[in-house]
């Protein structure tokens, strides 16, 4: 007789595997909005100081693509788990046209924010309002290709994800913009809903006080401690965001908004890093200068890259490593209500 807990895990594994096989036959479209955490190359096509289309970025992806990490983004990994044969492409790529758009499009932009003024020090960036404008164009292209009824059905089934907000604090010098950002976020989500989005994952702001850059500029006595004030701002914004998700679900008929708690997940990774196989929780794997390698962006020489990227929570001064993104993605897909609520991504896509 096998151990009941082990047997239970085995059965759950079979269920998830069968679910992925079924979904892989006809995966839903995926539309992605956000900042550099999920940008897959849109900033390659605009004039901006926020770019990642050069080595050593993408070192474990095979080549630099514009992703601000050593490998895949969270959305890349979720897409793979959902059975997508190709990664959701950047909106601005010339090849993102024709039938390609029926599987989804990524509108995210490094340095982008909820507020239109966010990221202006980087010159070019595509903020949330403009990203939704771009989706409006895609929506019209979809209607032109398959007709309005089929387009409505496609969008109703599609997965929408929004990962944005960190830059509204980091790039605005940690000014308290919470109320204004909340209003703009609410308006943006209502726009998406009115354009046909029904299943929307809203990712909160992570523990920005723990990224190598904030550790550098907010030195604390304990080198292993995160910067308190940035994290306090993030928690305040996240509390309002959770309330907003509840209100949107209540007030928008047929809507299924989901609150994805990346703050708690990353905090758990940092607090329990050894159990996840990490060795370093506070420094950038790709580094140039600083105690934590967080004073300058990752780039070509003289940047130095750690030998084993999978042992680092952070890839560079701002962004998680591929190894961290895998953990975050899996907990979005299959996690319980402490990770993502009122349902996880698997449950959201199964919901009618």
Greatest distance between any 2 Cα atoms in the chain: 64
CA distances 157 to 36, 251, 348, Å, are 26, 20, 10
Enter the tokens of residue 238. 């996240």
CB 23 within 8 A of CB 96: no
CA distances 172 to 115, 116, 275, 293, Å, are 10, 11, 35, 22
Q: Helices 128-146 and 178-194: crossing angle, nearest 10°?
A: 0
CB 93 within 8 A of CB 46: no
* Tally of CB atoms within 10 A around 295: 16
| Tokens 């387009």 found at | 151
For residue 159, list its beta bridge partners: 30, 199
CB 56 within 8 A of CB 286: yes
**Residues labelled catalytic:** 36, 316, 319
Listed in sequence order, the DSSP H helices in the chain are: 4-25, 74-81, 128-146, 148-157, 166-170, 178-194, 212-217, 228-251, 262-271, 322-334, 345-350
What is the spatial distance between Cα 325 and Cα 71, in angstroms, rounded to a whole number? 9
3-state helix, strand, coil in the chain (%, to 5): 45, 10, 40
């Amino acid at each position: 007789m096998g151990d009941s807990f082990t047997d239970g895990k085995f059965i759950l594994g079979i269920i998830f595997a069968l679910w992925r096989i079924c979904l892989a036959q006809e995966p839903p479209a995926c539309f992605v909005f956000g900042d550099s955490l999920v940008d897959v190359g849109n900033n390659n096509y605009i004039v901006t100081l926020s770019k990642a289309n050069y080595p050593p970025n993408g070192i474990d992806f095979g080549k630099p693509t514009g992703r601000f990490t050593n490998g895949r983004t969270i959305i890349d990994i979720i897409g793979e788990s959902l059975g997508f044969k190709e990664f959701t492409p950047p909106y601005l790529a010339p090849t993102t046209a024709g039938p390609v758009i029926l599987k989804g499009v990524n509108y995210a932009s490094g340095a982008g924010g909820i507020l239109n003024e966010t990221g202006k020090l980087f010159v070019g960036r595509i903020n949330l309002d403009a990203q939704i404008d771009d989706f409006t164009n895609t929506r019209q292209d979809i209607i032109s290709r398959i007709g309005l009824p089929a387009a409505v059905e496609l969008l109703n089934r599609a997965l929408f994800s929004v990962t944005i907000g960190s830059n509204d604090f980091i790039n605005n010098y940690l000014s308290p913009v919470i109320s204004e950002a909340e209003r703009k976020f609410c308006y943006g989500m209502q726009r998406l809903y009115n354009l046909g989005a029904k299943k929307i994952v809203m990712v909160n702001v992570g523990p920005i006080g723990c990224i190598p850059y904030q550790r550098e500029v907010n030195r604390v006595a304990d080198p292993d401690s995160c910067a308190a004030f940035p994290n306090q701002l993030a928690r305040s914004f996240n509390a309002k965001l959770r309330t907003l998700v509840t209100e949107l679900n209540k007030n928008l008929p047929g809507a299924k908004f989901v609150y994805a708690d990346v703050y708690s997940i990353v905090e758990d990774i940092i607090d329990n890093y050894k159990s996840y196989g990490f060795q370093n929780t506070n420094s950038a794997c790709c580094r140039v200068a600083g105690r934590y390698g967080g004073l300058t962006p990752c780039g070509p020489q003289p940047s130095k890259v750690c030998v084993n990227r999978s042992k680092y929570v952070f890839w560079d001064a701002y962004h998680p490593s591929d190894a961290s993104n895998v953990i975050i993605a899996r907990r979005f897909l299959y996690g319980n209500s402490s990770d993502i609520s009122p349902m996880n991504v698997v449950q959201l896509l199964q919901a009618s």
